Structure 1
Amino acid sequence: MERGKKSKTLLKIFITTLYLSTFTFGGGYVIVSLMKKKFVDENHWIEQDEMLDLVAIAQSSPGPIAINGAIAVGYKLCGMAGTLVAIIGTIIPPFVIISIISYCYSAFRTNWVISEMLEGMQAGVAAVIASVTYDMGADIVKQKDDLGILFMIAAFVASYILEINVVFIVIVCGLVGVCRGQLEKRRGHGHKKTEDTSDGNPENHPDKGGME
């Protein structure tokens, strides 16, 4: 039974990644919107917060965002088998499409219909990227995380105005996140130790102190 369930999950991973890779036009960031819709909203494979982490990992890792994201989700769901299926589902569409285009390159290059179609799609691509950026940024604002909001603004300035490489921005934000997590962890341990010490002090337990 468990084996049959895993097979169905693998098939669903393959179909989903095949769909994402087939209908993603306009660059790597466009797929983030479709990934969120499929992985988070429809299939509920990952949570919204995990989607943010997935995008950060996919962007900072070598290779296309689509493949890196598919690998992460595939591995989480079905281990190495899920990873392999996700990779195959992701690379088949571009492989087939590029093969056809390269074979008919001269016809595509001089075809005004295709040229106008691709130019018109740029507006749709921009809207899709803006939509997913708004959704993911809104979640950070709703959490009222002042440091997160500050770094979101700083990352935008560094990327758009200062034109710093996105990889460096992601790495710096990741390091800051690690340091922040360690500080919060230490504060949590310190607070717990204080409570334990307070509970173990006879002065805080009058009945016990009186019996002694």
Structure 2
Amino acid sequence: MNKKILSNIFLSTLYLSSFTFGGGYVIVTLLKKKFVDELHWIDQQEMLDLVAIAQSSPGAIAVNGAIVVGYKLARLPGVICAVLGAVIPPFVILTVISFFYTAFKENFIIQAMLNGMTAGVGAVILSVVYDMGGDVVKGKDPLLIILMAASFIAAYFYHVNVIFIILAAALTGIGKTIIRKLRNEA
């Protein structure tokens, strides 16, 4: 396996994980920018598929995202490098913070900084939704556009549990794949 690719996977996920605040959905857009836009190792549609897999798998989406990208790029060695890169920064940061928790808990400046970061996280998540939703619309597949809109409506207005939305989307994808395969065989 090419050591340059493995070191690039490790350093990229290490860097992204070190400077990503706000959860896994924030790192998804950064993974896309790094591996799709900058390095061109993954195309846009593959990234959407990988994010769907990461999202529907149990566990933290940041780690799942690193796993699927690492596997796509370099199989098992890529997974190991990506996971180490994604896990080391939060582990170190949380370990350090735990030693100073009481000081951070009462500190006005730290609280203000965290509140400001919350607004930034919302903007990054909105950017991810805009980019990925835009890609679905650009694909001009009416079924996927309807599924996206129905998922949003179900989650936002009717408070349907995300598990049911993921299962419905998975069943729709399976059904679409089976129908496409049957048409190709006919």
Normalised to the residue count of structure 2, the TM-score between the two structures is 0.95
Residue 129 in 1 paired to residue 121 in 2?
no
Q: Residues 27-52 of structure 1: CA distance to partner in whole angstroms, max 9, x if unpaired?
A: 22111111111121111121111111
Structure 1 match to 2:99: 103
Once residues 164 and 46 of structure 1 are traced to their aligned partners in structure 2, the CA distance between those partners, rounded to angstroms, is 32
Structure 2 match to 1:156: 152
Q: Is the 8 A contact 1:56 1:170 kept in 2?
A: no
Once residues 170 and 54 of structure 1 are traced to their aligned partners in structure 2, the CA distance between those partners, rounded to angstroms, is 14
Structure 1 match to 2:77: 81
Greater RCO between the two (CA within 8 Å, min separation 6)?
A: 2
Letter aligned with residue 31 of structure 2: M
How far has the Cα of 1:172 moved from its partner?
A: 1.5
1:18 equivalent among 9, 14, 17: 14
Larger radius of gyration: 1
Any unmatched runs of 5+ in structure 1? 191-212
Q: Which portions of structure 1, spanning 4 or more consecutive aligned residues, are displaced by more than 4 angstroms?
A: none
1:57 equivalent among 53, 60, 72: 53
Residue 170 in 1 paired to residue 166 in 2?
yes
Once residues 163 and 18 of structure 2 are traced to their aligned partners in structure 1, the CA distance between those partners, rounded to angstroms, is 26
Q: Is the 8 A contact 1:17 1:90 kept in 2?
A: yes
Once residues 165 and 27 of structure 1 are traced to their aligned partners in structure 2, the CA distance between those partners, rounded to angstroms, is 19
How far has the Cα of 1:24 moved from its partner?
A: 1.0
CA RMSD of the aligned region, Å? 1.2
Residue 94 in 1 paired to residue 71 in 2?
no
Letter aligned with residue 173 of structure 1: A
Once residues 155 and 111 of structure 1 are traced to their aligned partners in structure 2, the CA distance between those partners, rounded to angstroms, is 40
How far has the Cα of 1:188 moved from its partner?
A: 2.5
How far has the Cα of 1:101 moved from its partner?
A: 0.5
Q: Is the 8 A contact 2:70 2:79 kept in 1?
A: yes
Once residues 20 and 161 of structure 2 are traced to their aligned partners in structure 1, the CA distance between those partners, rounded to angstroms, is 24
How far has the Cα of 1:72 moved from its partner?
A: 0.9
Q: Is the 8 A contact 2:20 2:27 kept in 1?
A: yes
* Matching of residues 28-67 of structure 1 within 5 Å: 28-67=24-63
How far has the Cα of 1:189 moved from its partner?
A: 2.4
How far has the Cα of 1:69 moved from its partner?
A: 0.9
Q: Is the 8 A contact 1:21 1:90 kept in 2?
A: yes
Q: Is the 8 A contact 1:59 1:167 kept in 2?
A: no
How far has the Cα of 1:170 moved from its partner?
A: 1.6
Out of 116-125 and 90-99, give the one that drifted further: 116-125
